[in-house]
């Protein structure tokens, strides 16, 4: 591997990090790290399972048969991805403020679609 290839690879990483750490994607980047960390702990077996953060006694936190952790994870991933795409596609910083409500709206639509599809599954 030559030095030129290292520079080229570093340029691609910086090209990804700039939008991921720019507004509004940075608002969802920390949440995405928390969600990824949670699912890593679940995969390793350290957490109490997929529904570890659902409600306690007498509280039904699941929606349409889905645990809250899955709903929140889906919303965070969709909002982060939409805000990342919006940050890359929109060049004017003042117009990027419109990406935030678009990302939240896309997450809301995605979670509603997920709930509808889950409701159709046989129990």
What pLDDT, in 10s, does the model give residues 39-79? Answer: 888 888 766 655 555 554 444 555 566 788 888 999 999 99
Output 72 or 120, whichever has higher pLDDT: 72
Task: Look up residue 16 and give its two tokens.
Answer: 């990804």
pTM of the model: 0.74
Q: Is residue 5 predicted with pLDDT exceeding 60?
A: no
Percent pLDDT > 70 in the chain is: 72
User: Three-class SS of residue 66?
Assistant: strand
Cα distance between residue 106 and residue 112, in whole Å: 10
Computed over every residue of the chain, the mean pLDDT equals: 78
Task: Look up residue 24 and give its two tokens.
Answer: 């509004």
Q: What is the mean pLDDT of residues 1-10?
A: 53
Hey, CA dihedral for 9, 12, 16, 17, is it positive or negative?
Answer: positive
Is 105 within 8 Å of 82 (Cβ atoms)? Answer: no
């Amino acid at each position: 591997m030559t030095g030129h290839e290292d520079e080229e690879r570093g340029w691609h990483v910086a090209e990804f990090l700039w939008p991921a750490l720019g507004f509004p994607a940075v608002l969802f980047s920390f949440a995405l790290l928390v969600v990824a960390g949670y699912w890593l702990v679940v995969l390793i077996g350290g957490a109490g399972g997929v529904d570890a953060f659902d409600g306690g006694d007498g509280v039904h936190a699941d929606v349409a048969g889905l645990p809250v952790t899955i709903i929140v994870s889906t919303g965070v991933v969709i909002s982060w991805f939409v805000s990342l795409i919006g940050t890359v596609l929109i060049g004017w910083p003042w117009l990027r403020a419109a990406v935030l409500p678009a990302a939240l709206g896309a997450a809301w639509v995605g979670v509603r679609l997920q709930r509808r599809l889950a409701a159709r599954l046989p129990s």
